[in-house]
């Protein structure tokens, strides 16, 4: 949880973001991305929502996956472009400066999978619904969605502990970065509401983090 909140501060230092996230999260941030990448090994063409510095896109590209990513933060997109150049990923990875509010401009039914790690918790409820609705629209039939994010614990005691620990950290982060994250109440419910069949949801870290995998079952969306 510490790393999720302080991620908002670290985003102001895109060139050292991945390294600092690894330090603050004790290696968990990279593990989350690897877990998401493992679910996408069979995909040929992936859309990444909130690509950040392109770390996950690079992992997927190394496995032969083609990735189109976008991010709303110019410095992050620039860092991702520098990674693409340094690692010679031009033929497999492309990134653009864009927010989820522009997803309606993406072509429909052209991706095998959509992935987002530590992104949906940064969005409002309306923005999440919009993003998931268009994630379904851009997927091919039987397309896959993989979400890894901060969630609200289900157990009362864990939930109380979570809020007691998160509140002061959240206030501090907002004062420094003027940004905050919103843990999801239920990734599975939101995926189901957007037309996906949830194939798995794995909770970890005190029930405050989830990796969810969904399969598109409704195609006539938007």
Three-class HEC string of 122-140: HCCHHHHHHHHHHHHHHEE
Q: Is residue 178's pLDDT more than 70?
A: no
Give 189's Cβ-side CA count (13 Å radius): 6
Kindly report the pTM of this predicted structure. 0.80
The domain made up of 2-216 has a fold known as: Rossmann fold (3.40.50)
Higher-scoring residue by pLDDT: 170, 64? 64
Give 4's Cβ-side CA count (13 Å radius): 27
Cα–Cα distance, 156 to 139 (Å, whole number) = 36
Judging by beta carbons within 10 Å of its beta carbon (0-12, 13-18, 19+), is residue 94 exposed, middle or buried? Answer: middle
Q: Encoding tokens for residue 221?
A: 């969306």
pLDDT band at 40; cut points 50, 70, 90: very high
CB-CB contact of 100 with 127 (8 Å):
yes
pLDDT band at 209; cut points 50, 70, 90: confident
Q: Encoding tokens for residue 96?
A: 């653009």
pLDDT, residue 98, reads 97
DSSP code of residue 151:
B
Task: Give me the DSSP letters along 7-21.
Answer: HHHHTT-GGGHHHHH
Higher-scoring residue by pLDDT: 167, 52? 52
């Amino acid at each position: 949880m510490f790393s999720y909140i302080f991620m908002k501060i670290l985003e102001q230092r895109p060139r050292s973001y991945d390294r600092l996230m690894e330090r603050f999260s004790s290696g968990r941030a990279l593990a989350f991305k690897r877990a998401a990448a493992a679910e996408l090994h069979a995909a040929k063409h992936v859309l990444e929502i909130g690509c950040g510095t392109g770390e996950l896109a690079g992992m997927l590209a190394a496995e032969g996956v083609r990735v189109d990513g976008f991010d709303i933060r110019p410095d992050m997109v620039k860092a991702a472009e520098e990674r693409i150049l340094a690692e010679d990923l031009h033929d497999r990875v492309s990134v653009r400066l864009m927010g989820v509010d522009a997803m309606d401009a993406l072509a429909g039914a052209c991706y095998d999978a959509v992935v987002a790690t530590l992104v949906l918790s940064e969005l409002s409820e309306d923005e999440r619904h919009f993003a998931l609705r268009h994630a379904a629209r851009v997927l091919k039939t039987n397309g896959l969605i993989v979400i890894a994010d901060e969630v609200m614990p289900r157990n009362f005691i864990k939930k109380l502990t979570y809020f007691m620990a998160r509140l002061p950290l959240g206030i501090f982060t907002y004062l420094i970065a003027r940004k905050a994250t919103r843990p999801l109440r239920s990734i599975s419910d939101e995926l189901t509401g957007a037309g996906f069949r949830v194939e798995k949801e794995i909770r970890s870290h005190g029930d405050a983090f989830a990796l969810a995998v969904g399969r598109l079952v409704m195609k006539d969306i938007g």
